[in-house]
Structure 1
Amino acid sequence: MIRFAVRLSVAGGREAAARLVIIAAAVALGVGMLLTTLAGMNAVGAQNQRQAWLNTAVAPASADPSVDPMWWLIREDYHHGRSIGRVEVAALGPDAPVPPGIPHLPGPGEYYASPALGELLRTTPAAELGDRFPGHQIGTIGRSALPSPDSLLIVIGRTPAELEQLGARQVTQVMTTSPSDCNGCYVGLNANAMTLTLSVVAAALLFPVLIFIGTATRLAAARREQRFAAMRLVGATPRQISVISAVESTMAAAVGTAVGFGLFFAIRPGLATIPFTGEPFFAGDLSLTVVDVLAVALGIPLGAVVASWLALRRVQISPLGVSRRVTPKPPRAWRLIPLVAGLAELTYFIGRRPETTNGQITAFISGFVLILAGLLLAGPWLTMVGARLLAGRASRPATLIAGRRLADNPQAGFRSVSGLIVALFVTSVATGTITTFVANRGAPRTDSIAATSLSKIFWPEEGPAPSADQFPAGLAAIPGVHSVTLVRLNSDPDRWPGLVTCTELDRLAAFGNCPAGAQVAAVPADLIGTRALDHLGKKTYVWQDAGLPATEVDKQPILSVVVNTTSRSALEQARTMLINAFPQGRFPLSVGEWEGNSARQLVQFQQLANVVMLASLPIAGCSLAVSVAGGLSDRKRPFSMLRLTGVQLRTLRRVVALEAVVPLLVVAAVAIGMGFLAAHLFLRAQLDYPLLAPGWSFYLLVAGGLAVSLGIIASTLPLLRRITGPETARNE
């Protein structure tokens, strides 16, 4: 029976060959995307594991008495907005632990640098970067300690006395626990959150592909049903029919799976360069486990067999089932209930946001899931409503025929584009949320005072504050430094922690104003503060009145120094000078740099959402094209008879195009609208932000994807001339 099924599958002429090729292509796409997602999850875990050693400060003490302790201090530095991991060590014996990637601990005046930082040191003026690191480079940090090829890391050797003075900790072992499994680790990623994100991406990408596979399996379904029904009438059993259909699907799925594996390995080097976690991966990180390979290699063909069985289940029930073609019952309005329930849930939490993180996750995720499930369930009903409106307003025969056909079976019209719902909904929610969040709390403009001013804060818990004469005399003389301001400590706990005279604020001009009649303003330590990001550079922003006379300000200890610059070179030179003058505590940085970290991660999520949309729209177009081609093949005789009765070919083409385009556009509009509405409700409930419209790039991406999809659909229309001639009506 299997040999017979193989012969039957490959001996069906062009129609059978085209069906096998299309199914194989759909499977190859699905396999490639699935392997990419699985490899991405593995890469996130591998990258996270190589950041474990950076959390050595929280590692438990070693139980081995032969291990000598070492001093350990890790801090974050910056250069042109890029984060630099700076590790300083000092051995307290010959058997002190050694971090991965280096052969031994560096001595005082020595350091190891990552390849990317080493290159940066060679190409950057020493006054802007190299002078921060005492000594000279003795080697390169190996790959086993680098989260990414672009990681900027340095391990500096110090004396024990220096590190003790800097507030370092003594440790007896290097941390090896992944940050995602470590309680208290502060360097690394939440791998569980990344895995959840990638899982959502996988679903958003794979759902349209599965629809594509199912649609391809149904290609020429009517003709195949008739053929299988004839075999049943001459004695074939349901099991034999199942074997024949399974062999046909398995052949195409096996070829598609092999092509999918080849596609994954071909694009893997390019995928590794995508900085999804903020930094690119090593190509080897995008690996597959034995379980991953077996699950995909066996699961995808099995899924294709199941899809084939479901597509032909009428024949398996009865050989006469093919002839029992009745109009399906129209979908009812109750399908809107989950959609309305999801919107109502998100609306309810506006002003009632749960206090705990778990409560917020439960509230918002369940609302999004309800809306998405509601869209999928309500899709046929929405398609029916759109089709009836189309038919009711029809002024041409083609519009009337297309509207009536869609209204007669809206489930079939919606099925081929249902995968688009997931992609467009996920993309719209991500775009709306990220656009609004970045606009309100993202990185400031590069010409903003938040990006051009540098602050070094001397928090009381980090040691005694410096005196004014300890600041480098050359700081204000650096070309490009506009101003150097000392902010004094405010003892009033109910106001901003810093003090600046109103005379100084007027001189600076860019950092805000004093209230009328005040002599001293209470200001943030960096003269900016997160509350003032929307007012940067505006003279209208007014700080609090500190309630002190100006003569009292210089008597207070220094809280911070704020350096305003006019160039990136000046900012880096000022940073280097301050680091060398005050090596204790946290290093100087700009508001734009730490705000940019979160914004950079959000931008990566937005890029991923764009990939989902750009991939899903053409796949949805392919599904529609296959569905259109299959429908044309099944309706050759009715269309041929219409042509014989005088219906023009362009009218039939309009019918076919409208049947495909109406569900596509209706689904796209509803999915995008519901995505933006869900994003707005979430933002109002969680952050009290109104939704901001995304930039023109989003609309261009949607328009471009829809244009590609419509082009794919249009490519099937020339088939009408070939398959609807008089000979077809005569031969049928």
Structure 2
Amino acid sequence: MIGFGLRLAVAGGREALTRLAVIAAAVAVGAALLLSTFAGINAVNAQLNRVAALYPQATEAGDGAQPLWWSSRDDFFHGEQITRIDVAATGPDSPVPTGLPAVPATGEYYVSPALQRVLDANPLSARYPGRAVGTIGDAALPSPDTLMLFVGRPAAEVAELPRAVPLTSLDDSAPGLPETTVDLIMSVIVAGLLFPVLILIGTATRLNAARREQRFAAMRLVGATPRQISAIAAIESAAAALAGTLVGFGLFLAVRGSLADIPFTGDRFFPADITLTVADALIVAVGVPVGAALAAGVSLHRVRVSPLGISRRTTPRPPRWYRLLPLLLGLGELAFFLVGRRPETSDGQMAVFLPGLLLVMIGLLVAGPLLTAGTARMLARRSNRPATLIAARRLADNPKAGFRAISGIMLALFITSAATGVITTIIANRGPAPIGSTDSAAVFLFTEGKPLPAAGLSALPGVKSVTVLRQNPDDHAYEGLVACGELPSAYGRCAPGASVAVVPSDLIPYRENADPNRIWAASSVTLDSLAKLPTQSVVVLTDGSATAIEHARTTLEQAFPAYVIPPTVPGDFESSFADTLRGWQQLADVVIVASLAIAGCSLVVSVVGGLTERKRPFSLLRLSGAPVRMLRRVVALETAAPLLAVAVTAIVMGFLAAGLFLRAQMGYTLIAPSPGYYLIVAAGLAACLAIIASTMPLLERITGPETARSE
């Protein structure tokens, strides 16, 4: 049976070989994209694990143990995050950090290659006194662009640093997991690639299904059993899919090095991160040919029921209203959690939001034929030309086939709309303005009673004021105290008659700008008592220039090497969280382009397949007097009309799902994406229309008079 099936697969001459080549090419593209998706997921996980390893948990030390003291903190330079890790060995048996040949001694530090380039190009070495003794290996760096250094210090000093932990082993630290929001974004984006790829593979294996159904129906009439027909069809499709899968592995290996340079998470990957597990390779190597065989079997269900049904070509039942139920259920699940029903744990949130989004995607696929049928009715009501009427009749006759050609585009637009809406809204709500966008910026540091080098700070170019805040004698109060005479006018003024004001520890509440009209509440502490209180923090107001900000930060870090300067300067916080989200936005852009390209390939295969299946009816229309331009309008209308209707529906559903998720998960209101998103979508739809137009020359070639002969 296998040999017979293979012989039939190539027995149709040029047409059969062309069909097998197209199926193999489509499967190769799909397999390569599946492999790239799996490798990208593995690279993201490896990068996240190395990031988590920079913030380990303390390990238990037994008798006689010689732990390594470790303290991680973040520094910033021109809006770029620098990870600083202070380490100290307590003996020769202390563990050595990954990526280092040895634990740096006091006054020594190891730097990443990217940070070394920054140190060579900028006067930043004063912030890190000592000498560089080497570079950090790739095994410790999340990305080739990571700015990081290991600083050697005495054990007693490291033990007093923030987040200092003793480590007897560096292998026991469990990797941290990314935020639930990022998990959801990644899952939806992965689905955004997988679904169109699977649709492409399924569409390719159904190529020229009508003629194959006729051939298999004839075989049924001469005695072939349904099982034999299914086996022959599966062998034919699986053979082409297997060849395409092998080519797909070759394509993946060819582009593997380039994938590392795509900043999916905002940072590039090491080439070694772009790897596949054995399970990934087996899923593609086995799953794709098996899926192609199953798709071929499904496409021949009418032959298995009755071979005479192929010749009669009865009209399928029109889609019913209940096809909307999965879509409504998915949206209903997301809406259910709007009123405080959101689970508290990350696993619980994943368990409710991700199935809801997947259910919406499945619902769109199920409801697609119903939307196509509605488009056909609209065309029929507005038809005033033969081409419009024929296109509407074709769509109404088989809306499933009409939707199948554009189902990949529908999913692609839904995924990209949902992901872009979520990311755009989060960045707008949690990402401050980039550095240099304001005319002033403050750097502040908790001094915890240490002496302050105020004179050195005030003399720096670009520094407008240096304000010292005192600790509030109320142990339960987080705010600090400041003398009204020392309060800069840029931060507001005291209440009338007050000599001491109660202010936030950083003088500028989070995500707010300095307001000269703000009035601060008065404190009951007198000026004499204020001078005796220990300092709480120092706030340095600059002119907003990068030079003044970095000089102030360096001076503070030199004066208070044991303390952390919080990321309050515009651009700092953005470089940590919002910069990561911008990386996911870049990934979403990649998905937009990739998924639309995949959907375009599916569209090509579907349109070409539809033309070859209907070349005899079109040829008869030409013999009866129908001009070729009318047939071109028929093909264009029956694809473009549902395409535009599906595009609008997918975008609306994507934004609706994103809005429900944002409101339930984070309490945010959806913010419309930038015009760039709409330009990309418009360009993608224009490319799809161009694909449809590119098939028109084929219509004239395959509908000549010779095609109308009796078969």
Normalised by the length of structure 1, the TM-score is: 0.89
Distance in 1 between residues matched to 2:459 and 2:439, nearest whole Å: 21
For 1:164 and 1:602, the matched residues in 2 are separated by 33
Q: State yes or no: 1:106 paired with 2:94.
A: no
- Which of 464, 471, 478 matches 2:460? 478
Contact 1:69 1:171 in 2 (8 A): yes
Report which stretch shifted further, 623-632 or 232-241. 232-241
Aligned partner of 2:271: which letter? Answer: A
SS at match of 1:119: helix
- Partners of 2:80 and 2:192 lie apart in 1 by 32
Q: CA deviation at 1:699?
A: 0.1
Checking the alignment, whether the CA contact within 8 Å between 1:496 and 1:523 is kept in structure 2 is: no
**For residue 129 of structure 2, what is the amino acid of its counterpart?**
P
CA distance in structure 2 between the partners assigned to 1:600 and 1:106 by the alignment:
31
Deviation of residue 678 (structure 1)? Answer: 2.1
Distance 2:667 2:52 in 1: 36
Residue aligned with 1:299, SS:
helix
- Unmatched 5+ residue regions in structure 2? none
In structure 2, the residue matched to 1:396 is 385
* Deviation of the 1:375 alpha carbon: 2.1
2:229 corresponds to which residue? 241
Residue 20 of structure 1 corresponds to 20
State the Cα distance separating 1:133 from its structure 2 match. 1.8
**How far did residue 704 of structure 1 move?**
1.0
The CA deviation at 1:427 is 1.6
Q: CA deviation at 1:168?
A: 7.7
Q: Within 5 Å, give how 1:601-680 maps onto structure 2.
A: 601-680=580-659
Q: Provide, for residues 43-98 of structure 1, a one-character-per-residue CA deviation record: whole Å limited to 9, x for no partner.
A: 23333444465334x232244x5642343332222222222222222332222222
Give CA deviations for 1:195-229 in whole Å, capped at 9, x if unaligned.
76544333221211222222222222221121222
Residue in structure 1 matched with residue 534 of structure 2 by the alignment: 557
CA distance in 1, matches of 2:135, 2:267: 19
Corresponding residue for residue 139 of structure 2: 144
Secondary structure at the aligned position of 2:17 is classed as helix
Counterpart residue identity of residue 61, structure 1: E
- Give me the identity figure in percent: 55
Task: Give 1:547 shift.
Answer: 4.4
1:230 — aligned with what? 218
Match of 1:201 among 189, 199, 204: 189
How far residue 295 of structure 1 moved from its aligned partner, in angstroms, is 2.5
For 1:461, the equivalent position in structure 2 comes to none
Matched-pair contact (CA < 8 Å) for 2:109–2:130: yes
Structure 1 position 577, deviation (Å): 1.0
Distance 1:4 1:417, change over 3 A: same
- CA–CA distance in 2 between the matches of 1:390 and 1:519? 77
Query: 1:689 is matched with which residue?
Result: 668
Tell me which residue corresponds to 2:42.
Answer: 42
Deviations, residues 247-300 of structure 1 (Å, cap 9, x unaligned): 321222122112211221222222112233343211011112223222221221
Aligned match of 1:292: 280
1:586 shift after superposition:
1.7
Letter in 2 for 1:569: T
Distance apart, 1:656 and its partner CA: 0.7
Would you say the 8 A contact 1:578–1:588 is kept in 2? Answer: no
Find the aligned partners of 2:493 and 2:671 in 1 and give their Cα distance: 29
Residue 475 of structure 1 aligns to a residue whose secondary structure is helix
1:461-472 alignment runs, 5 A limit = 464-467=448-451, 470-472=452-454
Q: Which amino acid aligns with 1:474?
A: G
Larger mean Cα displacement after TM superposition, 224-233 or 714-723:
224-233
Preserved contact between residue 475 and residue 577 of structure 1 (Cα < 8 Å): yes
**8 Å CA contact 1:110, 1:156 repeated in 2:** yes
Quick one: which of 161, 168, 173 aligns to 1:173?
168
Aligned residue in 2 for 1:59: 58
Of 340-349 and 429-438, deviating more is: 340-349
- Deviation track 1:168-211 (CA, whole Å, cap 9, x = no partner) reads 8562513324543xxxxxxx543998676544333221211222
Note the 1:534-613 alignment, pairs <5 A. Answer: 535-536=512-513, 539=516, 542=518, 544-548=520-524, 551=527, 554=531, 556-565=533-542, 566-592=544-570, 593-613=572-592
Counterpart in the other structure of 1:523: 503
1:638-662 deviation line (CA, Å, top 9, x unaligned): 2222222222211111111111112
The residue that corresponds to 1:437 in the other structure is 426
Separation in 1 of the partners of 2:653 and 2:629?
Answer: 35
Matched AA of 1:304: A
d(CA) in 2 for partners of 1:427, 1:499: 49
Q: Is the 8 A contact 2:95 2:170 kept in 1?
A: no
After the TM superposition, which residues 365-384 of structure 1 pair with which residues of structure 2 at under 5 Å, given as runs? 365-384=354-373
Decide whether aligned partners of structure 1 residues 91 and 621 sit closer, same or farther in structure 2, where only a CA change above 3 A counts.
closer
Alpha carbons 2:500, 2:525 under 8 Å: kept: yes
The one-letter code matched in structure 2 to 1:679 is A
In the alignment, the residues of structure 2 paired with residue 518 and residue 382 of structure 1 have an alpha-carbon distance, to the nearest angstrom, of 69
Distance between the aligned counterparts of 2:114 and 2:708, measured in 1?
70
2:114 and 2:144 in contact (8 A); partners too: yes
Alpha-carbon spacing, 1:450–1:278, altered in 2? closer, same or farther (3 Å) = farther
Contact kept in structure 1, 2:412 and 2:595, CA below 8 Å: yes
Which residue of 2 is the match for residue 727 of structure 1?
706
TM-score, normalised with respect to structure 2: 0.92
Q: Which amino acid aligns with 2:534?
A: P
Give the alignment partner of residue 405 of structure 1, picking from 391, 394, 417.
Answer: 394
Q: Does the 8 Å contact 1:34/1:202 carry over to 2?
A: no
More off after superposition, 17-26 vs 543-552: 543-552
Size of the alignment, in residue pairs? Answer: 707
In the alignment, the residues of structure 2 paired with residue 245 and residue 313 of structure 1 have an alpha-carbon distance, to the nearest angstrom, of: 11
Segment of structure 1 superposing worse, 590-599 or 258-267 = 590-599
Match of 1:700 among 679, 687, 710: 679
Letter in 2 for 1:101: G
Partner of 2:80: 82
Q: Does 229-238 or 629-638 show the bigger shift?
A: 229-238
* 1:556-588 deviation digits (Å, cap 9, x = unpaired): 432222223332122112111111101122235
How far residue 166 of structure 1 moved from its aligned partner, in angstroms, is 4.3
In the aligned structure 1, how far is the partner of 2:396 from the partner of 2:680? 30
What letter matches 1:524 in structure 2?
A: P
Whether the 8 Å CA contact 2:185–2:419 is kept in 1: the answer is: no
| 1:120 corresponds to | 118
Three-state SS of the structure 2 residue aligned to 1:456 is: strand
- Counterparts in 2 of 1:220 and 1:161: CA distance versus 1, 3 Å: closer
